[in-house]
Structure 1
């Protein structure tokens, strides 16, 4: 199980524990917020409720070791958000799928933008904020944010000479060189980069970057890299992707060669009817909707 329920101590319980320990000093300040848990897992958050918050503060739980976040570029995050008055869970993404946004104040809002700006992929961050008074979040919040990669990250796999050669630009966006040969008649799933993350399950919601190409010309016809953000969808909705991506580890880049016997699903096109297409897919995350936190 990936999700670990956030927890908090009530002020009354803390007072009782102090009394049992022989301490008569009254508690006048809320306890500090502490965050524990392993990378890739939902955090455990501990603090005294109700938490008194008069201004937004942020803390780096651990530093990222990946690429620096780029202003205006996509950022992918997992988050755990609690109502700090009683430590109740408001929303989380660890059991479903992460959220993709642009690193701009307009897209993220002032607080989250300032929390993420200057960070690197792999960082875990704490943000404690007062209520906005807007009605949507008129209570203080405690949020833990994990910064995820927006491109595949792992060990390169030796390419197959019978498949199109793949070239990546500086951002990670792929292009291919057509082979000039007849396409295979069966579905091909060829890893190009092998990640080390969790394996994709048949009923998972995957978060990916991808580009689709025509086999014959190598020309792209659809790409998240040009649309701007990674996307998430259920594998059950796309048969070819389900067959090709199941059991692949997160962090991998996989080439899918899809014959015309499969419906494209994510990007049906009349121009490509009857043609074999090639997808280069970066698997960024995989979630389990059936395990979503209540």
Structure 2
């Protein structure tokens, strides 16, 4: 459910199906406990020259191949904002480089326009977590990431990361958004009379059970508000945190959900299928939305192109945060 870039970088988070990226196995952390502490600098990370101009893509210079045996983290620019703690959801701009060749693998603009939502927990490779944990908002850090703390023996083909490749990461910590709501908390709303007769029943924790009517699905995108939140509206391009459940109209079966994972999903509105994005943009934080997506607003008509191709999908979404 997160943006495509975040999914490719995380390479193994839940809800990847909606953004169109497959999950990959995570390597074991090199030092599990150290992710909750400030990772120290070292000879290798100190040897990397990184430009200090924030708001612009960094210039990164080092002699390749850069050799190191541990993940090291050097602060290039010290910010004066809030400090990121282990487990926090943060937004950062990132440049990832192959330490062996010096080749840039992926980068954002570093101008605030492309922040990546990163959760500082086991859903991300340990090296990314070590880079950003303890950083303060406004900080730029450079981190040497061992293969064990990166993508391990699996690598990351979508990024061009080879098996057992060491990496260099430059990260700018842009913001630490307010913690998301636990569930939608808005005022109950009546659905339009012509809205499909989808039934939504909530458990005590807010998890919805969705019952699809025994009738032909609508041919057009349908969006209804079940609860109207009092928070800020979701804008196009926002990173949003949601709880959701997705149901196949034809079978009534759940094909994807966040509730079963025990944690909400965070993604960019530009990184999901069109109907899901349309169901969020303009809605307010705290709202619960139900949307019926025909194939042209979901995964298209071809079941060979995607396992959900040709299907009408029903989503119930709690909007918990947006930034």
* Structure (1/2) with the larger strand percentage: 1
Superposition TM-score, scaled by structure 2 size: 0.44
Superposition TM-score, scaled by structure 1 size: 0.47
